[in-house]
Amino acid sequence: SDESSEDEAQIKWEEQQIKKAIKLSQETYDDASLHKSQPVKPKFDPSVSLPPVNLEIVKKRLTERITSLQDVHRAHQREYEKYMEDIESSKLTVQELEKSSDAALNYKFYRAMKTYVENLINCLNEKLKYINDLELAVHVLLQQRAMRILKRRQDELKNESAYVQHLTRGDDKPTNGGLEGDEKTQLLEMCEHRRTCRRQMREGSGEADHHEGMSSDDELTPTEVTEFQKSKDNVLEDSRKVFEDVHADFCDIRKILLKFQEWKEKFPDSYCDAYISFCLPKLLNPLIRVQLINWNPLEQNFTELEEMPWFRAIKEFSDAKNVSESKRDDDPDQEVLPRVIEKTILPKITAFVKSVWDPLSTSQTKNLVQLCSNIFEKQVLSKNECSRAKEDLMNMAVLRMKKSVEEDVFIPLYPKSTVEDKSSLCSKFQERQFWSAFKLLSNVLLWDGIVQEDLVRDLGLSKLLNRYLLLNLLNTPPGLDNIEKCNKVVACLPERWFQDLKSGSTLPELLNFCQHLLRCARTLHKNNHSDETKEVLLLLVKVKALHIVEDFIEEYKLEHLKSMI
C-alpha cells in the first residue's frame, strides 16, 4: 500500500508539471503574435536633412506621370477596341451558327437531290435508245418520201425532155434515154394529170399570178399517202409509250425544273458552283426530242417553238426571279433556253435541211426561212458569237441549194422557129423549165439576211440568173413575155442590195442582165413601143443601173423620162 500511494503522488506531480509547461508555451505564443500584429512605427529624426525641391522638378515628375498614364490609357483603349471587335465577331458567328443550325436538314436536302439526279440520269439513259430509234424512224419516213418525190421529178424531167426532143427531131426511133415502153408513157400521163388538177384548183381559188412550172409537183398518190400516214402513226403511238412507266417527276420537264429551282432558291451559291445551267440543256435533251418527234418545220401550219410545252417550261424557269441572296449578280439560268436551242433544235433543223428539205418548194423554203429568222433574231443564242450549230445549219443550207441548182435546173434551148408557137410542146416545156428555175431563184433569195450575202448572190445571180435564166431571156424576142420575166426577176431581188450603190452602177453580177434590158429597150423603142420601153427603163432604175438609163435617154433624146432617175 505504501508503494501504491507513492506511485499515485508521482503521477499527479507529473500531470501538474505538464499542465504548467503547456500554459507557459501558450502565453509565449500569444505574446509573439501580438508583437507581430503591431508594426513598429518609424521614428522621425529631425536631424536628417531632405533633398531640395523646386517647381521644375515637380512639373517634370508630374509630366512624366501624365505621359505614363496616357500610354497606359491608350493601351487600355486598344485593348478595349479589340475586345469590342471580338464581341462583334462573336455575334456574327452566333448568327451564322443559328442560321446553320439546321445542318441536318441541309444535308438531307443535298442527299435527296443527289439521289433524285442519279435516278433521273439512269432513267434517261435507259430510255435514250428508244428515243433514238423513234426519232430515226420518223426521219427515215420523211427522207424516203422526199427522195421518192425528187426521183420522180427528175425521171419525169428526163423522160419529157427526151420525148420533146424526139418530136422535134421527127425521128421514128426514140433517142437514147427516151421513152421505151408503156411505163414511161404512163409516168408522163400521170405528170400531166397532176398539172391539170393543180390548174383546176388554181382556177377555182382565183389564183391568177401563176405560171406552169412554178408548182413543186410533190403530190403523192392516195396509196402512198395512206402508207406514209400509217407508218408515221405507228411510230407516234410508240413514242407515247416511252415514258408511260415513268413517274411524272422524272419525265415532266416542268416538274424537273421545279426541283432545280428549289435548289437555286435555297442554296444559290452551291447551285451556281455546280454549273447546273450548263448541265440542264443536256439533261433535258431526250425529253425535248420526244416532244419533237412529230414536229416538221417544213410543213404548213407547223407548231411554233414558243407554243411547245418544253419551251414554255424552260422560259418560265429562266425568267423566275431568285429571291435568295447570292454572291453573284448575273443569273446563269438565262442561258439555259439559248443553249437548248443551240444543242437540240438547230441540229434537228440541220437534219431536215440535209435530207428532207426541197429547195424547189416555196412553201417549205418560206417555213424554213421564217423559223431560222425567228431563232436567230428573237431567240438570242448563246453568248458565244461563233455558234457551231448555226454555222453547220447555214453551211448545210448552202450545200443543199447548190445541189438543187446542179441537179434540178434544166432549161432547154430550141430554135426560135420551134418555140414561136406558144401552144407547141417545145414552147410549153421550155416555159415550164424557165419558171421552175425562176422559182428556185426566188427561194434562194429568201435566205438573204440569214445566209451570207456573197453566198446568196453567188448562188442566185452568178449560177442561176446568168447561167440559166439569162440564156432563155436572150433567146426570147423582146415583148410582153420577156418584160414579164424580167419584171419577176427584178421583183425578187432584195432591195437592200442596192441601197449603198452610189456610183450609178449596178451589182457586178447584174451587168449582163442590164445589157439584156438595154437591148430590149432599144428594140422596143425602134418599134415605137413607148410604154414598154419606159417599163424596161424603170427596171434598170430599180437595179441602180443609172448610167445606162442616162446614156439611153441622151442617145434617143427622151428628155421627158429624166424624171424617173
> What is the pLDDT averaged over residues 387-397?
92
Q: Are residues 267 and 396 in the same domain?
A: yes
Q: Are residues 433 and 511 in the same domain?
A: yes
Would 128 be classed as within a structural domain?
A: yes
Domain end, chosen from 376, 403, 430, is at 403
Across 187-191, 207-211, 420-424, which has the greatest mean pLDDT? Answer: 420-424
Q: Which of 154-168, 208-222, 263-277, 508-522 has the lowest mean pLDDT?
A: 208-222
For residues 336 and 264, what is the distance between their CA atoms, to the nearest angstrom? 14
Q: Tell me, what's the pLDDT at 16?
A: 85
pLDDT at 6 over 80: no
Q: Would you say 242 and 249 are in contact if contact means Cβ atoms under 8 Å apart?
A: no
372 Cα distance to chain centroid:
11
Instruction: Please report which confidence band the pLDDT of residue 475 belongs to, taking 50, 70 and 90 as the band edges.
Output: confident
pLDDT at 81 over 80: yes
> What is the pLDDT averaged over residues 1-10?
71
Q: Tell me, what's the pLDDT at 95?
A: 79
Q: Are residues 257 and 359 in the same domain?
A: yes
Burial 19-44 (b: 16+ CB within 10 A, else e): eeeeeeeeeeeeeeeeeeeeeeeeee
Domain end, chosen from 365, 381, 403, is at 403
> What is the pLDDT averaged over residues 476-487?
90
Q: Tell me, what's the pLDDT at 186?
A: 63
Q: Are residues 380 and 447 in the same domain?
A: no
Q: Are residues 431 and 454 in the same domain?
A: yes
Across 10-14, 57-61, 280-284, which has the greatest mean pLDDT? Answer: 280-284
Tell me the residue length of the chain: 565
> What is the pLDDT averaged over residues 463-483?
90
> What is the pLDDT averaged over residues 254-271?
92
pLDDT tens per residue across span 174-205? 444 444 556 656 666 666 666 676 666 656 66
| Residue 516, C-beta contacts closer than 8 angstroms, at least 6 positions apart | 470, 473, 474, 486
49 compared with 411, residue with greater pLDDT = 411
For residues 497 and 475, what is the distance between their CA atoms, to the nearest angstrom? 28
Angle at 10 between CA 9 and CA 12, to 5 degrees: 65
> What is the pLDDT averaged over residues 217-237?
87
Instruction: Please report which confidence band the pLDDT of residue 393 belongs to, taking 50, 70 and 90 as the band edges.
Output: very high
Q: Are residues 349 and 430 in the same domain?
A: no
Would 193 be classed as within a structural domain?
A: no
Q: Tell me, what's the pLDDT at 513?
A: 95
Across 252-256, 270-274, 333-337, which has the greatest mean pLDDT? Answer: 252-256
Would 185 be classed as within a structural domain?
A: no
Q: Tell me, what's the pLDDT at 340?
A: 94
Q: What is the pTM of this model?
A: 0.76
Would 91 be classed as within a structural domain?
A: no
pLDDT at 487 over 80: yes
Would 389 be classed as within a structural domain?
A: yes
Would 474 be classed as within a structural domain?
A: yes
Q: Are residues 368 and 423 in the same domain?
A: no
Q: Are residues 256 and 390 in the same domain?
A: yes
Domain of 485, in residue numbers: 409-564
For residues 280 and 284, what is the distance between their CA atoms, to the nearest angstrom? 6
> What is the pLDDT averaged over residues 451-459?
95
- Domains in the chain, number: 2
pLDDT tens per residue across span 25-67? 676 666 666 555 555 555 556 666 666 778 888 888 889 999 9
> What is the pLDDT averaged over residues 121-129?
95
Q: Are residues 336 and 413 in the same domain?
A: no
In 3D space, the residue among 241, 333, 251 whose CA is nearest the CA of residue 284 turns out to be 251
Q: Tell me, what's the pLDDT at 177?
A: 45
Q: Tell me, what's the pLDDT at 323?
A: 47
Q: Are residues 471 and 486 in the same domain?
A: yes
The amino acid occupying position 84 is M
Would 142 be classed as within a structural domain?
A: yes
Q: Are residues 240 and 318 in the same domain?
A: yes
Instruction: Please report which confidence band the pLDDT of residue 414 belongs to, taking 50, 70 and 90 as the band edges.
Output: confident
Helix intervals (H) in 356-415: 362-373, 388-408
Q: Are residues 551 and 418 in the same domain?
A: yes
Domain end, chosen from 382, 403, 424, is at 403
Would 171 be classed as within a structural domain?
A: no
pLDDT at 1 over 60: no
Question: How would you classify residue 496: left for phi > 0, otherwise alpha for psi between -120 and 50, otherwise beta?
Answer: alpha
Q: Tell me, what's the pLDDT at 45?
A: 61
Q: Which of 73-87, 366-380, 438-452 has the lowest mean pLDDT?
A: 366-380
In 3D space, the residue among 319, 320, 382 whose CA is nearest the CA of residue 345 turns out to be 382
> What is the pLDDT averaged over residues 305-329?
77
Mean pLDDT, rounded, of the chain: 84
* Own/partner pairs, 91-100, CB within 8 angstroms, 24+ separation: none
Q: Tell me, what's the pLDDT at 456?
A: 96
